[in-house]
Amino acid sequence: MTAKLESELIRTLAAAADVAPGPAATFLDQVHGRQRQRERRRAGLVVAAAAAVVVTVAAGVVGVVGRTTAQPQPGSPTGGPTASRTLMRLADARPAEQVWPEALVTLPARLPDGRAYTLIRILSGRRFLVAAKLAEGHSGPGGEVLLWEPDRGSPRSLGNPATPPGIGTTRLFGRPDVGDGYVAWAIEGEREVDADRGEYQEIWVAPLAGGPARRLAVVERAAIEPIVHIVDGHVYWARLEASHYDIPGPALFRVPLSGGRVTQVPGGRGYVLMRMPGWANTFGDATPSRLWNLADGTHRPADYRGFVEYECSPSWCVGSVEGDRHWVVRRLDGGRTLRVDFVARLFTSYNENIVMGLLEYPVADGDGRVVWDLRTGQLGTGPPITNAGYTGDTSDAMSTLSWLNPDGTMTVLDPRAIA
């Protein structure tokens, strides 16, 4: 079926392109109008940046501003001259098991019943939260979440959401969270009919100690971000209300763990959740860009302007710059911006000083995994992923790195175990 689907895709896309409307008479004028808007906006940013420098100098912290590494230019996440220098080299990396042996855990590659699984979280020691993968022929984990202690036998299902009528295969959607004795997760489903109604997602919660899982919310038509957090007795998520591409309008919502009414989080408009539990950041190109600790209500400034793709921890932002596949890491206190000499998609983890990523080796047809301790500068790598060995695992979404071993086991690196 794959070959047929692929040939149909080629034909359908070509045919669709053939019927695409041509440019309107005003097309060129509109391009020039946008160009003028961009130039005005950039001019405004330069003025704002200049004003900020004056204020900083007046406050008597010239020493910080004077460092060449400290202040990235507006729209240029690579910052000043030192920032553009390569500071992290793949050649300096060592195998992760040599760098952080204490952070590695080995597990069976399959559950006792033979199902493959995705590791969601290492709860403690040898207690794991996992999601069983869908049957062969499908990719990714399904909606069932299980608590597993391999040394004690079979996993215990915490919840296996039933598929609603009219919805096809349901899957785990993004990153679950654990807190206050509960696990919260989202599932998404594909509509079997009436596809124009858009997305279908549900928010679920279950007590880790046992007890029935509960569906807390159903989200239809509006997209939600693939992250849920448990904060202060509530499950949080970000809903994206996009009336137009140019007007990003996300907002945070929450519902009590015990169930009840879904409410919009006061002050949460314009924010999306970060990977770090309990934190949110302003969306997209918002100015000023800020991080928000949802637990204590404090905010801190962040600068991720100019990144075309980014993630932040409470201390760092990692991102890519347009036209440059070498990602950079920027300290939020203005201290340093680091650049790597390898091509990788980097992401933050549950340890705010640990950045992980999927990298491309410059030679050989393979990819690999990289772990970077921003505090010590240590760089570790996992084994290469070859075409033949690619499993479609989603460990990057779960904030751990995992790989299958030839002996049928799976090795997991838990960033939280790196001191």
Partner 1 sequence: MDGDGLDTLDLFVRNRATALLRYGYVLTGNPHDAADLAQEALARLGSRWRRISEAGDPEAYVRTTMARLHISRWRRLRRERLVAEPPDRGYSEVGLARIDGDVGLWHALAALPARQRAVLVLRYYEQRSDQEIAAVLGIARVTVRSQAARALDKLRATWPNASAGTLTGRTA
Q: Taking CB under 8 A as the criterion, which residues in 123-182 touch partner 1?
A: 137-140, 168-169
Which listed residue (129, 203, 356, 385) binds partner 1 by CB under 8 A?
385
Which listed residue (1, 54, 91, 162) binds partner 1 by CB under 8 A?
1
CA distance 277 to 388: 35
- Least Å distance, CB 252 to partner 1, is 13
102 part of the interface to partner 1, by CB under 8 A: no
| Bridge partners (DSSP) listed for residue 171 | 188
Which listed residue (6, 152, 287, 335) binds partner 1 by CB under 8 A?
6
Q: How many alpha carbons lie under 13 Å from residue 6 in its C-beta half-sphere?
A: 3
Q: Which is nearer to partner 1, 4 or 261 (CB)?
A: 4
| Bridge partners (DSSP) listed for residue 249 | none
Residue ranges in 311-330 that form contacts with partner 1 under rule CB under 8 A: 320, 322, 325
DSSP 168-227: EEEEE-SB-EEETTEEEEEEEEEESS-GGG--EEEEEEEETTS---EEEEEEESSEE-SB
358 part of the interface to partner 1, by CB under 8 A: yes
Q: Which is nearer to partner 1, 24 or 91 (CB)?
A: 24
Give the number of residues in contact with partner 1, rule: CB under 8 A.
81
Q: Which is nearer to partner 1, 133 or 147 (CB)?
A: 133
- Least Å distance, CB 135 to partner 1, is 11
Which listed residue (52, 59, 242, 364) binds partner 1 by CB under 8 A?
242
Distances (CA, A) of 248 to 50, 167, 241, 306, 314: 27, 28, 7, 17, 23
SS3 (DSSP) at 31? helix
Residue ranges in 271-310 that form contacts with partner 1 under rule CB under 8 A: 272, 283-285, 308-309
Residue type, 365: D
Which listed residue (240, 262, 286, 417) binds partner 1 by CB under 8 A?
240
225 part of the interface to partner 1, by CB under 8 A: yes
Residue type, 339: R
Q: Which is nearer to partner 1, 12 or 287 (CB)?
A: 12
Residue that has been written with the tokens 């390569």 in this structure: 86
Q: Which is nearer to partner 1, 49 or 223 (CB)?
A: 223
- N- to C-terminal Cα distance for the chain? 48
DSSP state of 364: S
* Among the residue ranges 10-18, 90-98, 100-108, 408-416, the one whose residues contact partner 1 (CB under 8 A): 10-18
- Least Å distance, CB 15 to partner 1, is 4
Residue ranges in 21-80 that form contacts with partner 1 under rule CB under 8 A: 21-24, 27-28, 30-32, 34-35, 37-39
Q: Which is nearer to partner 1, 102 or 194 (CB)?
A: 194
CA distance 330 to 84: 12
CA distance 154 to 62: 60
Range 150-169 burial, b when 16+ CB lie within 10 A, else e: beeeebeebbbbeeeeebee
What string marks each residue from 188 to 217 as x (binds partner 1 by CB under 8 A) or -? --xxxxxxxxxx------------------
- Least Å distance, CB 379 to partner 1, is 16
Residue that has been written with the tokens 């650049």 in this structure: 339
